[in-house]
Structure 1
Amino acid sequence: MDRITVIGGGFAGLTAAITAAEAGASVTVHEAHHTLGGRARTAEGPYRTNEGPHALYSAGPHWTWLKQRDLIGPLAPVPAREAARLRLHHKGALRRTPPFAMLKLLRRSCQQAPEDVDFMTWATGQAGAEGARAAANYAAVALFHHDPGSLSAAFVQERLRRAMRLPPEANCPRGGWANVIDRMAGRAWNLGVRMETLARVDRLPVGKGPVVVATSLASARRLLGDASLTWPSGRTALIDLALTSRRGDAFAVSDLDAPGWIERFTARDRTLAPAGEQLVQGQIPIAPEESGADGVARAEHLLDLAFEGWPERVTWRRESVASGRTGAVDPPGTSWRDRPSIDRGDDVYLVGDQVAAPGVLSEVSFNSALEAVALALRIRERLDLKRA
Structure 2
Amino acid sequence: MVDITVVGGGFAGLVAAITAAEAGARVTLHEAHRELGGRGRTSDGPYLTNEGPHALYNGGEPWGWLKQRKLLKPLAPLPPLEGARIRFHDEGKLRRTPPMALYRQVLRRDAPVDRDFLSWATDMGGERAARIAANYMGVATFHHAPGSLSAAFVQERLRRVGKLPPEAHYPKGGWGPLMNRLAHYATGLGVRIETGSRVDALPESRPVIVATSLESARSLLGDDTLTWPSGRTMLLDLAISTRRGDPFAISDLDRPGWIERFTAQDPSLAPEGEQLIQAQIPLGPKEKKADGVNRAELLLDRGFPGWRERTTWMRTAVANGRTGAVDLPGTTWRDRPAVDRGDGVFLAGDQVAAPGLLAEVSFASAVRAAQLATAVRPALR
Native 8 Å contact 2:234 2:289 kept in 1: yes
- Report SS of the residue matched to 1:312: helix
In the alignment, is the contact (CA less than 8 A) between 2:5 and 2:208 conserved in 1?
yes
Q: CA deviation at 1:83?
A: 0.8
For 1:311-363, what per-residue CA distance to the aligned partner results, in whole angstroms no more than 9, with x for missing partners? Answer: 00110001000000000000000000000000001100011000100000100
| 1:51 positional shift | 1.6
Q: How does 1:336-375 map to 2 (within 5 A)?
A: 336-375=333-372
Deviation string, structure 1 residues 238-286 (Cα, Å, up to 9, x no partner): 0000000001111000000000000000000010000000000010000
Task: Name the structure 2 match of 1:138.
Answer: 136
Q: Contact 1:73–1:179 at 8 Å: present in 2 too?
A: no
Identify the residue that residue 62 of structure 1 maps to in structure 2: 62
C-alpha deviation, 1:116, in angstroms: 0.2
- Equivalent residue in structure 1 for 2:194, among 184, 187, 196: 196
User: Match for residue 232 of structure 1?
Assistant: 229
Q: Does 1:211 align with 2:240?
A: no
Of 230, 245, 250, 1:248 maps to 245
Q: Match for 1:169: what amino acid?
A: E
Q: Residue in 1 aligned with 2:116?
A: 118
Q: Do structure 1's residue 105 and structure 2's residue 124 form an aligned pair?
A: no
| 1-structure distance, mates of 2:133, 2:348 | 30
1:53 aligns with 2:50: no
CA contact (8 A) 1:113 1:154 kept: yes
Cα shift at 1:374: 1.1
Structure 2 CA distance for aligned equivalents of residues 239 and 91 of structure 1: 23
| Aligned CA-pair RMSD | 1.1
1:53 and 1:283 mapped to 2: Cα distance?
9
Q: Secondary structure at the match of 1:239?
A: strand
**After TM superposition, where is structure 1 displaced by more than 6 Å over at least 4 residues in a row?**
none
Alpha-carbon distance in structure 2 between the residues aligned to 1:29 and 1:154: 36
- 8 A contact 1:5–1:29 mirrored in 2: yes
Instruction: Indicate the residue corresponding to 1:174 in structure 2.
Output: 172
Report 1:10-21 matches (<5 A). 10-21=10-21
Q: Name the aligned partner's letter for residue 204 of structure 1.
A: L
Q: 1:206 & 1:23 partners in 2: Cα distance?
A: 21
| Alignment partner of 1:330 out of 327, 330, 348 | 327
Question: Is the 2:106–2:155 contact (alpha carbons within 8 Å) kept by the matching residues of 1?
Answer: no
Partner AA of 2:60 in structure 1:
G
Which stretch shifts more, 371-380 or 260-269? 371-380
Q: Tell me the SS of whatever aligns to 1:380.
A: coil
Could you tell me whether the CA contact under 8 Å between 1:6 and 1:27 is conserved in 2?
yes
Q: What is aligned with 1:44?
A: 44
3-state SS in 1 of match to 2:376: helix
CA distance in 1, matches of 2:361, 2:101: 31
Alignment partners' CA distance in 2, 1:178 and 1:349: 26
- Map Cα deviations across residues 148-172 of structure 1 (whole Å, 9 max, x no partner): 0000000000111111101100000
- Determine if contact 1:239/1:281 at 8 Å carries over to the other structure: yes
The 8 Å contact of residues 104 and 126 in structure 1, kept in 2 or not, is answered as no
5+ long unaligned stretches in structure 1:
384-388
TM-score w.r.t. structure 1 length? Answer: 0.97
Contact 1:265–1:280 (CA<8 Å) still a contact in 2? yes
What letter corresponds to residue 105 of structure 1 in structure 2?
Q
Q: Percent identity?
A: 65
Find the residue that maps to 1:81 and give its secondary structure.
Answer: helix
Work out whether 1:318 is the aligned partner of 2:318. Answer: no
Q: Does the Cα contact within 8 Å between 1:9 and 1:29 map onto a contact in 2? A: yes
Unaligned 5+ runs, structure 2: none
Q: Which SS does the other structure have where 2:198 is aligned?
A: coil
Residue aligning to 1:186: 184
- Within 5 Å, give how 1:282-297 maps onto structure 2: 282-297=279-294
Q: Distance in 1 between matches of 2:315 and 2:357?
A: 27
Aligned-pair CA distance for 1:97? 1.2
The one-letter amino acid paired with 2:20 is A
Q: Count residues in correspondence.
A: 380
Q: CA deviation at 1:106?
A: 2.6
